[in-house]
Structure formats: C-alpha cells, structure tokens
Chains A and B, each alone.
Chain A
C-alpha cells in the first residue's frame, strides 16, 4: 500500500489523474473491464495472484499498459514481454518516461 500510495503521488505530481486502484485480481479485472482511463500500470503480483488476466483484458480493449515488478522481465509471461516494464523501486522520472512512451 505504501508502494501504491507513492506511485499515486508520483502520478499526481506528473500531472496525471488516478482513475482507480485495485490490490487484488477480482477488483482489478472489474476495473480493467469497465473503467475509463487512458493507460494502466500493473503490478505482476496482486496479493499472490499474477495480473496477466488483467493484461489480457486491457490488450483486448486496446488500452496501453506497463508492468511494475520486482521479479524482472523473466517473471512476465512470454506474450507480454514486449510491453514496457518498470523494475521496482523506480523513480518518478522513469515512470514519466515510460508513460510518455505508452502515449506514443
């Protein structure tokens, strides 16, 4: 939660709005399926469950997303390895660059 709060603050300081926050798979899927937002950031591990179903849903909706993980690139499912990955912990500048790349 400290991490999520911190990222929230980073995003606000970068001039973005936070449309929603989910720390478990169920709520995350609901958010990804129905939420209205421009981009998403996924922790690979949501309270012990991998977040790849969320990634699949987002990919289906054509919403750009990036991963934040402590597992490294090897922890990402093969089909999503071409997506941007931020290694935890990261700095606000790295987050800004990744989001700018997503928007392109």
Chain B
C-alpha cells in the first residue's frame, strides 16, 4: 500500500491522520503486512462519517474513528482487546458482535438509549447502530465493523409529540377542572421524571398561593396539597417575572436563591433544590403557577422548560373549558328548576282559580289575569337577569293592570331591592288586592283611593295597603284565594306576617317582613 503523502490521494480524503500512524507499534503490525480485508475494514472505519469501531480477530482488537471517541468520551489505545478497554458501549455491543460473527449477517439496533457525559453534563442519548461482518480472504468473519448514528433529537421530538398527543387525549375527556389539573401534572411528572409537579392557584388580592392537589414521584416525596402560602415568599424578583408571564428554571437554588436566605432555606426544607415554575397570566393578572420540583440539583434542559410551558398552557385551557362547562350546566339546571317552579305556580293558579262555585267565563278571566300578573313579575325579574327587582317597580307594575286608576294610588317608600322570590310573592299578592279593590273596594266607588306605603326599620320592612273612600266594608263570610294567598303564602315567603283588616272605612293589609329574607343579594362584582 502506498505510503500517505502530505497531499492526500483522491481515494483518501478523510481519516488520513488516523490512518497515518506507526502501525508497526500496534498489534496489527505494519500496514504492508495487512491482508486486503483488514486494510479495507480499517479504511472504512476510519473514514466513516458515523461513529465507527472495528472489532478485529478473536480478541476483538479495537480500532475506532474520532466520532466514536467523542461518543464514549475519550480515545482508546489502538488494538487493545475490546473486553479490556473499559468502554461503556462494550457490554451492549459484545453479544451483537458474537452474533454477527456466528451468523455472518449484519445486525441493526434502533434507538438504543445511552447515558453519556458530554461537556461535563450527563444526558440521555439515543443511537441507531449497525454491526456488519468483515469477511476475510478465507471466507470467514474476521472482524465486525460497528457504526452508530445519534438520533437523540429525532427520538426526543417524537417523544414530545407523542406526549402532546397523550396529553391532548387525556384532557379532551375531562370535564372537571381539578381533574384536568391533576391529569396534566401526572403526565408531566412522569415525562420529566420529576419529584413533584403541581398547580398553585394565585389569589393576588389576598397575596396567597393555594395548592389543591399535586403529583409526587413516590410516597417519600412530600405533597404540597392543601398548602396556602404567601406569594411574597417567591421574592420580588421572581414575582415580577411571573407577573410578566416569564418562566423560571433554577438548576440549584443554592446557586440562584429564591427570595431571601431564610426563604431559600425554607424552600429547600420543603424539598425544593431545583425547580421550574411556569406562570399563567390571564387578562393581565397572575392566575396560577405550574411547578416542577426536585430535591436535588438538576441541570434543566431547554426542552424541559419548553414542555412545562406547553403543558401549563394546554392544561389551563382545559381547566378554563371545564369551568365554563360547569358554569353552563349550573345555568341550565337553574333554568330548568325555574321553569318547573313556574309550571308548578301555574298549576297552583289553575287549581285555586277553578275550585268552588265559579262560572267558566269568570274563571277564565281570573285565571288569565293571574297568569298575566305572574308573567309581569317574571318580565321585571328578567330585566335584571333574575338578580332582584325594585320594590317600587313591583308595586307600580302590579297596579298597572287597573288601567285608568293610576291617579288613585298614593305610593310611597324608601328604595329597596327585593330578592326574586319575594318580588314574585308580593306581585301576586298586590294583584289580588288590586283586583279586589276594583271589584268591591275603594276603586269600585267614585273618589275612592288606595295608599301603599312602606318603611324600613332595623331588620323589618312594614308595608301597608290602605283603602279609603269606598263603600262600607264588611268582613267576608268566606276567605277566598286572595285572602289565603296573602295571609298564608305571602307571609311564609316573606319570612314574616301578613294580615287583612276589614275596617268599615276601607280594607287594610299589613305586611311585616324580615329584610334579611327579602332583600336581593348584592350583585357579584365581575
């Protein structure tokens, strides 16, 4: 074989420097003495663009190229038996080399995981390896050439994609916000092999972070579930980052403290030495933090932080969707309940109107009038989205049907917002009183008047309906629907009393109610 020249021959563009050595000093002897099979195999190995190693002869004497020495971390002596070379790959490769020698067929290993220390950082890598037989002049397998191609990036991208699909599949089937949070931290925890992963919801007004549940790798890792901590503990710097939506990844809080020295010590006591914290900011407010904790230092990879952010965003979207669904379900249930109650009220009106001695024409008119009164009260409540209604509006709307009589009412009282139930009850009662006044009471006579006045004192509301100027009043022989509705039903609904007084100068209705029972709840501040 021609000796190497400074100008490498056309057939030897690379690997030259490795080929160009004092082979006589190695167990392989001078190149001139090599059989063509060895010369071919060595050339193939040293010129390979992949990490390549040749195992030659029964002793599996090792020759490798530069890429291979980068793979195992350092060079090995040329010609040293592989079994004695103490390189991390050999235990994996040895059985394959034996197999290739025995069968004379090549072997392929896909995505072989390998923990490597490169640039001082230990990492999980993946390799595709091919081992091929080198057949000598006698037709025997004299050596095995191994070539390995790193596929760590591809494998990681696939892993990440399949993780995202798994996450999306899990989240899609979940309709409970807490369950969505838990599914996300479980998946992220096992993906990262982290000690503890969880969600802390932030209440900025209270300055509190609250952990409902979290995920831990094993029972030895303490859970933070149920913990309520002051967000000031993160320190101003970290909080400012979080509020700006920036993620924090700390490999070792002793090197990069979180908050004051005391705080950092407290974090460490809580099992936090390394962390990734992803903030969730919605409409300018910090809503939640997704945390990943390790009790020992961990040099986070860029991809760890990226996947944590991805999980935070996706799962929070699922949490918000689940919350909206729950809210919608609540509204539908509430509506259903309201409809059923209204139907039951209509049933009550029908039942009460159609009983006793009453002509069909009269019953139809009364039924319709009562239905309209109920409907009017509903309209009033709907205007305010069923939050409540003003007492004065309830009063004025209830007497509106007495067309042309508006000038005969004196209405006076302080403003008060009634709860829906009280508003409905009062509207129905006032309707009965008004109808009665128009038929038999003050409004049936020229110049008759009705005064409606209310006052509030302490927890009590006193409302009075007083008729005057009508025909002389006598107590009726039999109590009708209106009387019962007022004296029993209204009293119960208002949490108070209601009484009818048949004074000769005019009918009087006195209503006493507890403000706590009838006042509309404060409107929620959006």
Contact = CB atoms under 8 A, between A and B. Distances in A.
B328 interface: no
Interface stretch (A32-40, A51-59, A69-77, A96-104): A69-77
A8 B339 CA distance: 21
B18 interface: no
Contacts of A4: 489, 492
B338 interface: yes
A24 B485 CA distance: 17
B160 interface: no
Interface in B395-410: none
A30 to B, nearest CB: 13
A2 B352 contact: yes
A23 B362 CA distance: 32
23 contacts: A1-B428, A1-B488, A1-B492, A3-B341, A4-B492, A5-B488, A5-B489, A6-B351, A6-B352, A8-B488, A9-B352, A21-B488, A21-B492, A24-B517, A27-B495, A47-B517, A48-B419, A69-B340, A70-B340, A70-B341, A72-B336, A87-B340, A89-B346
A2 B373 CA distance: 13
A6 B485 contact: no
Interface in B191-236: none
B339 A9 contact: no
Contacts of B344: 2-3, 6, 70, 88-89
Q: Which 6 pairs of residues, A with B, have the shortest CB-CB distance? A: A70-B340, A1-B489, A2-B348, A6-B348, A89-B344, A70-B337
A69 B333 CA distance: 11
Contacts of B340: 69-71, 87-89
SS class, residues of chain B in contact with chain A: helix
Nearest to A21: B492
Given A1-B485, A9-B351, A47-B517, A22 B337 contact: no
A22 B341 contact: no
Interface residues of B, number: 31
Nearest to B338: A70
A2 to B, nearest CB: 3
Interface in B331-355: 333, 336-341, 343-349, 351-352, 355
Interface size class for chain A? Answer: 20 to 34
Nearest to B355: A9
Given A2-B348, A2-B485, A9-B352, 10 more contacts: A1-B428, A1-B488, A1-B492, A3-B345, A3-B347, A6-B351, A6-B352, A47-B419, A70-B340, A88-B344
Interface in A1-30: 1-6, 8-9, 21-24, 27
Contact of B349 (A2, A9, A23): A2
A74 B329 CA distance: 12
Given A70-B338, A70-B340, A89-B340, A6 B347 contact: yes
A69 B346 CA distance: 16
B461 interface: no
Contacts of B345: 2-3
Interface string B476-498: 00000000110011101101000
Contact of B336 (A3, A9, A24, A71): A71
Contacts of A21: 488, 492
Contacts of A71: 333, 336-337, 340
A45 B333 CA distance: 12
